[in-house]
């Protein structure tokens, strides 16, 4: 059912409601979820707020075209209205934004008028809990010109894993450490024996030692090894101030306490304030650039602590943000061309 709103809801009360209801949520992939589609018609852009967003994210200011990531900011209050309600089964506290995919079919003018719609796409099992997808669409003249799909993970015990809370699906501890660093000696970061076998006895070089050929038979052909892409070449080093989370929060409206101050971040297990995931994606895309018709996917792999220093790296359509050897964000930019969908 479509619910038409007369204005964008205020974020602060929604965040407070979501925090209060979080202890009573029991996440599971087969739970019910809100089926409403929230629609905000006649949306016009606040140009002063847009300019603040462009400055903090590194986009060029003064252009009439909206930055690729800005409609996510416009849709965030509607998403929070859905996710903070009683009908949404995942607790808002501790919810981790794991990825976003954005498709832009044409440039959006900052002076245009749009219809904004947000709905929950569904729930799915995840090896570390339950993941929800939230879909945001921007229409003009009845045509969808921009859409995104964000994945949010609620971490909890599942039948597939007994790993402690605080890790994402790639094994990265969201509180700042990597559980792979505590693996026993003699294994590499994939949990495999460095001599070429995994714990189940499968030879990672292409054969299984339990399936040896009998003497006198011709050796079997094996598939050539798959090339694993190496680190992307560094393009720039960015020194991030401790106020990045507060500046982005003021421009976007997302004032989650983990992003604001060291004290408020420590209440949630972080040693310092953490940069917004969507800020890291926007900052990378501001540096990378994107064609008019484009699809972008960004994976949020580890938090960026503030203040800090990170390396922006890119090659072709790929980009990433690194801190030392740790990859914080990785992404792909796909040019859809004139006939792209």
Read off the pLDDT of residues 88-97 as tens digits, 9 standing for 90 and up: 999 998 888 9
* Nearest residue to 175 (alpha-carbon basis) of 51, 48, 266: 266
Beta-carbon count within 10 A of 206 CB: 13
Whether 203 shows a pLDDT value over 50: the answer reads no
Question: 62: which residues sit within 8 A by CB, 6+ positions away?
Answer: none
The rounded distance, in Å, linking the Cα atoms of 175 and 165 is 10
CATH superfamily of 2-161+231-335: Hotdog Thioesterase (3.10.129.10)
Measured CA to CA, the distance from residue 38 to residue 117 in angstroms comes to 5
Taking the domains of the chain in order of start, what are their residue ranges?
2-161+231-335
Residue 175, pLDDT > 80, answer: no
Cα angle, residue 138 at apex, residues 133 and 144 outer, rounded to 5°: 95
pLDDT, tens digit, for every residue of 163-174? 444 444 444 333
The per-residue DSSP string of 41-101 comes to EEEE--HHHHHHHHHHHTPPSS-SBPPTTHHHHHHHHHHHHHHTSTT--S-STT-EEEEEE
Is residue 211's pLDDT more than 70? no
Beta carbons of 54 and 61 less than 8 angstroms apart: yes
Average pLDDT of 99-126?
96
**Confidence class of residue 180 from pLDDT cuts 50, 70 and 90?**
very low
Instruction: Name the helix (H) or strand (E) containing 287.
Output: helix 277-288
The arithmetic mean of pLDDT across residues 177-197, rounded, is: 35
Contacts of 142 (CB under 8 A, 6+ apart): none
Mean pLDDT over residues 73-96, rounded?
Answer: 94
Four-point Cα dihedral 92, 301, 133, 331, nearest 10: 140
Question: What pLDDT score was predicted for residue 12?
Answer: 84
Interacting residues of 156 by C-beta distance below 8 A, sequence separation 6+? 27, 129, 130, 165
pLDDT of residue 95: 87
User: Above 50 in pLDDT, residue 214?
Assistant: no
Is 256 in contact with 15 (CB distance < 8 Å)? yes
- pLDDT tens digits, one per residue of 231-277: 899 999 999 999 999 999 999 988 888 899 999 999 888 899 999 99
pTM: 0.78
Tokens of 105: 């079919």
The pLDDT of residue 225: 52
pLDDT for 217 equals 40
Q: Average pLDDT, stretch 6-23?
A: 89
pLDDT at 189 over 60: no
């Amino acid at each position: 059912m479509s619910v038409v709103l007369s204005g964008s809801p205020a974020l602060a009360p929604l965040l407070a409601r979501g925090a209060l209801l979080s202890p009573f949520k029991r996440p599971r992939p087969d739970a019910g979820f809100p089926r409403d589609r929230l629609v905000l018609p006649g949306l016009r852009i606040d140009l002063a707020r847009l300019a603040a967003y462009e400055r903090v994210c590194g986009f060029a200011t003064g252009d009439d075209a909206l930055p690729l990531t800005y409609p996510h900011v416009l849709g965030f209050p509607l998403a929070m209205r859905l996710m903070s309600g009683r009908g949404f089964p995942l607790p808002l506290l501790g919810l981790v934004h794991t990825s976003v995919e954005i498709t832009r079919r044409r440039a959006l003018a900052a002076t245009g008028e749009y219809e904004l719609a947000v709905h929950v796409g569904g729930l799915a099992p995840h090896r570390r809990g339950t993941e929800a997808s939230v879909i945001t669409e921007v229409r003009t003249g009845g045509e969808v010109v921009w859409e995104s799909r964000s994945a949010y993970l609620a971490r909890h015990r599942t039948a597939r894993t007994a790993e402690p809370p605080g890790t994402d699906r790639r094994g990265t501890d969201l509180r700042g450490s990597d559980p792979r660093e505590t693996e026993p000696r003699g294994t590499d970061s994939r949990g495999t024996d460095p001599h070429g076998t995994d714990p189940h006895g499968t030879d990672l070089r292409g054969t299984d030692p339990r399936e040896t050929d009998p003497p006198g038979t011709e050796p079997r052909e094996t598939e050539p090894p798959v090339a694993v892409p190496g680190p992307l070449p560094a393009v720039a080093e960015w020194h991030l101030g401790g106020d990045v989370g507060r500046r982005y929060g003021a421009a976007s409206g997302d004032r989650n306490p983990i992003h604001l101050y060291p004290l408020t971040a420590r209440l949630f297990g972080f040693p310092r304030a953490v940069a917004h995931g969507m800020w890291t994606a926007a900052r990378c895309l501001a540096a990378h650039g994107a064609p008019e018709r484009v699809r972008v996917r960004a994976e949020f792999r580890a938090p960026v602590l503030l203040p800090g220093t990170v390396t922006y790296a890119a090659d072709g359509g790929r980009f990433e943000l690194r801190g030392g050897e740790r990859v914080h964000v990785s992404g792909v930019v796909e040019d859809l061309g004139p006939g792209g969908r």
